[in-house]
Amino acid sequence: MKFNVEGKTFQQQLSAVSKVINAKNALSILDNFLLKVEGDRLSITGSDQENVMTAYMTITESEGDGAIAVSAKRLLEITKEISSQPLTFYINDETKEIDIRFLNGHFNFMGVDATEYPARRNQEAEQKTMMLPASMVQKGIDNTLFAVSADTVRPIMTGIYWDIHENDVTFVSSDTHKLVRYINSESAPGFTGSFILPSKPANILKSIIGKEDGDVKIVFDSKGATFELGDYLLSCLFINGNYPNYNRVIPQENPFEMTIDRVSLLTALRRVSIFAAKSSNLVVLDIQPNEVILHAQDLDYGTSAEERVNCSYEGNTMTIGFNGQFMIEILNNLHDDSVVFKLSDPGRPGIYTPLQQQEGEDVVIIQMPMQVL
């Protein structure tokens, strides 16, 4: 088997697929890329057993179809150094010897029999298909991924919940300290369904969407899904379990509202939180009609900070504590000049929303308060 590839494109596709490969694998074959030639098309596949990623590219010249598994680490190192050059692969189908030739030299090493590479999971007969704009999927992931839990004790919280309705899709994530509900009605799926997408394929999908435009074709059954966009195909398994009733967690009556410039609050929090106790990151908000006073202190080191930020507040004056780092994360992921912070009392969650919701979108973020001593 012989084929030619354009070095830069080949390196980019390898880099995209490499995101699915684990640093350490129980099966040594998963340390490899699977390269498969069919006519003038080359597919590059990587897998960690739960997630399978394939990138496609056109090859300029080929002799014979076939497949071989190649060390991912070695191939990435090679292409990183000579990505600007065309590469010619000569592969001995019998011995699995690989010879890669470039302008001033060549590399010679052994590949692995492609038949050892695990096959992609066959989906169940009962499945659902939807076409969503890439921008809609990207916004859903961008708005929720930061709030996914890293605690594997509750695995269902380590992914993004897709709650699919006839006319919209709701994306939800929570680490129990904060919760995001993002509704997008840019496209109507036309049916109902749900699944929990793990954070790893969500991150991979996010990186793919950054390279391609158009629609994402999503085909899913009870166990997993395939996401197809442009030259990329990602298959993954879902997290099993029932996601909590997220609507029940969102307070329905938070009558007090603070409207504030997002960047002003964000930059003040960054300064004040430097002096918060590292064990709690507690920042106390003393909310007045025309300003909010931020306080933080670390009794162990005898340090403290205070800063005032102008705001518009309607409600009873209130002193309430929140994790400052979580507040910073939330404000970084709200994309409006001003935010509305809805409160009821110091013991109940606060609700963040952008002052102006984007057309076809509804973003709600809640944060649990902390005890102020």
Burial letters for 43-71: b for 16+ Cβ neighbours within 10 Å, e otherwise? bbbbbbebbbbbbbbebeebeeebbbbbb
Q: Is residue 76 domain-resident?
A: yes
> Are 182 and 225 part of one and the same domain?
yes
CATH number for the domain spanning 107: value is 3.10.150.10
Number of separate domains in the chain: 3
* 38 and 58 within one domain: yes
d(CA 109, CA 116): 18
pLDDT at 81: 85
144 exposed, middle or buried (CB, 10 Å; 0-12, 13-18, 19+)?
A: buried
Mean pLDDT per 10-residue segment, the chain (373 residues): 93 96 95 97 97 96 93 94 89 96 93 94 92 96 97 96 98 98 97 98 94 90 97 97 96 96 98 96 97 96 97 97 98 96 97 96 98 87
CB 364 within 8 A of CB 350: no
Q: Are residues 97 and 151 in the same domain?
A: no
How many CB atoms are closer than 10 A to CB 245? 8
Whether residue 123 lies inside any domain: the answer is no
Contact 31/25 with Cβ under 8 angstroms?
yes
Q: Which domain holds residue 299?
A: 253-367
Q: Are 265 and 337 in contact (CB under 8 A)?
A: no
Domain's final residue, options 248, 273, 296: 248
The per-residue pLDDT for 212 is 74
pLDDT at position 210, please? Answer: 77
The count of other CB atoms within 10 Å of the CB of residue 158 is 19
Kindly give the pairing relationship between strand 159-164 and strand 361-367.
Answer: unpaired
313 domain residue, yes or no: yes
Give me the pLDDT at residue 94, please.
94
Output the pLDDT for position 202: 98
Backbone angles phi, psi at 135, to 5 degrees: -65, -35
Domain C-terminal end among 248, 281, 310: 248
Where does a domain end: 116, 148, 175?
116
**pLDDT confidence of residue 271:** 98
Per DSSP, 319 falls in state E
Residue 43 lies in a domain: yes
Q: For residue 228, list its beta bridge partners.
A: 217, 233
**Predicted TM-score of the model (pTM):** 0.94
Q: Does 184 share its domain with 204?
A: yes
Tokens 């197809």 belong to residue = 228
Helices (H), ranges, 145-278: 199-209, 246-249, 262-272
| End-to-end CA separation in angstroms for the chain | 72
Q: Check the CA dihedral 175-19-24-221 and report its sign.
A: positive
Say how many CA atoms lie within 13 Å of 322 toward its Cβ.
27
Could you tell me which of 67, 62, 74 has the C-alpha nearest to residue 44?
A: 67
Task: Quickly count: other Cβ atoms within 10 Å of residue 345's Cβ.
Answer: 11
